[in-house]
């Protein structure tokens, strides 16, 4: 096996992209917890459903940004070829 420097860079880019996608785990867990607590709150106080739902969705949108940043980093690492 003869690896060039370019092959090493491509391999490291693929590994980095995989590591960047680990950032999707946190938002998934956080959004699941938020949805569970939101459903619980609506069950306790059905009259406040609209306020609870809007606050929950805003919080989930903010939490999702870290996952999207990880996806953008992974796409850049996979498709932008350095030194090529």
Three-state secondary structure call for residue 81: coil
User: pTM score > 0.85 for this model?
Assistant: no
Give 30-43 pLDDT, tens digit per residue: 888 989 999 999 99
List pLDDT tens digits, range 40-72: 999 999 999 999 999 988 988 888 888 899 999
**Which burial class, exposed, middle or buried, applies to 74 when counting CB atoms under 10 A from its CB (0-12, 13-18, 19+)?**
buried
What are the phi and psi torsion angles at 45 (to 5°)?
Answer: -140, 80
Contact at 8 Å (CB) between 13 and 84? no
Domains assigned to the chain: 26-84 (1.20.20.10)
């Amino acid at each position: 096996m003869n690896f060039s420097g370019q092959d090493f860079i491509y391999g490291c880019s693929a590994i980095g992209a995989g590591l960047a996608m680990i950032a999707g785990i946190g938002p998934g867990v956080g959004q699941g917890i938020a949805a569970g607590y939101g459903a619980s709150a609506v069950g306790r106080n059905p009259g406040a459903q609209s306020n609870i739902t809007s606050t929950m969705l805003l919080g989930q949108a903010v939490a999702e940004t870290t996952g999207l940043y990880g996806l953008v980093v992974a796409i850049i690492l996979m498709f932008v070829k350095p030194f090529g």
